[in-house]
Amino acid sequence: MTALPWHRAILEKLLADRAHFPHALLVHGPSGTGKAEFARALAAGALCEAPRSGLACGACPSCHWLSHGNHPDFREIVPEATAEEEGDAPEAAEGAKAEKAKSLVIKIDQIRAVADFIALSTHRAGFRVLVVRPAEAMQPAAANALLKTLEEPPPHTIIALVSDRPARLLATIRSRCRQLALPMPPRETALAWLKAQGIANAEGALAIAGGAPLLALELAQPDEEALRRKLMSELARPGGADPVAFATSIDRAAIERTIHWLQTWVQDLVRVKVGGEARHHGEHLAALRAKAKPAELEALFAFDRELASARALAAHPLNPRLVAEHLLMAYNRATNAAKP
């Protein structure tokens, strides 16, 4: 649970005054910058039995349990699908595992399941920490159940809500938390970290991720790069993208990323159109310019709005191929690909 370099100073400051630690924190900030890691490092620091400048020592029994995922005073609530992706879901039976779509929301049962954890005394006579992420994934009933705990927090309890979109949380939940906005990491710090993770083209990876280092690391993986290359060559095609051919290979895992790339591409198109610089796809500047030229700004904005609603729906069981096909057709229309 080592803190990410760009979080260290914030954590040290936060953990310096343990006597007045907020019982509820809402950690938000740009996605892909390590908010989940921040919450875990915060937990590690709070639970550590020999903290160094407030941060976890990494060597005491508490740090040891936490790194092995079995600290009795730590719980993390995530949607089933997230738990599976991160490889800490309980093993499902063969077959059933592949067929049953995992839940993308946090259910009331998951909040109820930690009631004892919250109510009983702590095991190590220190803090207990509950992390909920992403907090906006809580179903209304789950959010209301958690609200009760936030209203009457037991002593020595830290509840850290992690959110990409705090505006989607109940106002009553937001108002009971101390808000902590994590900034985008400084570029040099992010680059050094990426290089330390073995990413050869750290500059390129960071640019594509819009400056978010954890997203950059994820996007630098081979299958992610392949998807991006494929989509970019479609988007750059002078005569317009081929929606049907592209969509054949798009599955549920790829659709959300496809929408992400479309969003960054359209944002770059708008920037280039108004004489600015591409933020994400500078390596495709010639294509961006060629595409931006015949496109109407209003059409690009409309397409961007369509992408935002498609993104909100991407978590739901729609047919990913049809979604990809539909969006590429909308892209062709927005960029006037049909008309020379």
Binding site for Zn ion (CB under 5 A): 48, 56-57, 60, 63
Nearer to Zn ion, 2 or 189 (CB): 2
The b/e string for 154-193 (b: 16+ C-beta within 10 A; e otherwise) is eebbbbbbbbbebeebbeebbebbeebebeebeeeebbeb
User: 2: helix, coil or strand?
Assistant: coil
Nearer to Zn ion, 48 or 190 (CB): 48
Contact 32, 220 (CB under 8 A): no
Residue labelled with tokens 């590429």: 328
| Least Å from the CB of residue 113 to Zn ion | 27
Tell me the two tokens of residue 136: 């906006």
> Length of the chain, please?
340
CB count in 10 Å sphere of residue 16? 12
Query: How, if at all, do strands 74-77 and 24-28 pair?
Result: unpaired
Nearer to Zn ion, 25 or 63 (CB): 63
| Rounded (10°) angle between helices 297-313 and 320-334 | 170
| Least Å from the CB of residue 297 to Zn ion | 54
Apex CA 253: angle with CA 31 and CA 305, to 5°?
Answer: 55
Beta bridge partners, 128, equal 157
| Least Å from the CB of residue 214 to Zn ion | 24
Nearer to Zn ion, 74 or 303 (CB): 74
| Least Å from the CB of residue 46 to Zn ion | 10
CB count in 10 Å sphere of residue 40? 24
Strand ranges in 93-143 using DSSP code E only, listed in sequence order: 128-132
Contact 224, 36 (CB under 8 A): no
- The letter for the amino acid at 303 is F
Nearer to Zn ion, 62 or 258 (CB): 62
| Least Å from the CB of residue 122 to Zn ion | 16
| Least Å from the CB of residue 59 to Zn ion | 6
Nearer to Zn ion, 1 or 205 (CB): 1
| Least Å from the CB of residue 128 to Zn ion | 16
| Least Å from the CB of residue 20 to Zn ion | 21
The rounded radius of gyration (Å) of the Cα atoms in the chain is 22
Nearer to Zn ion, 12 or 218 (CB): 12
Nearer to Zn ion, 61 or 183 (CB): 61
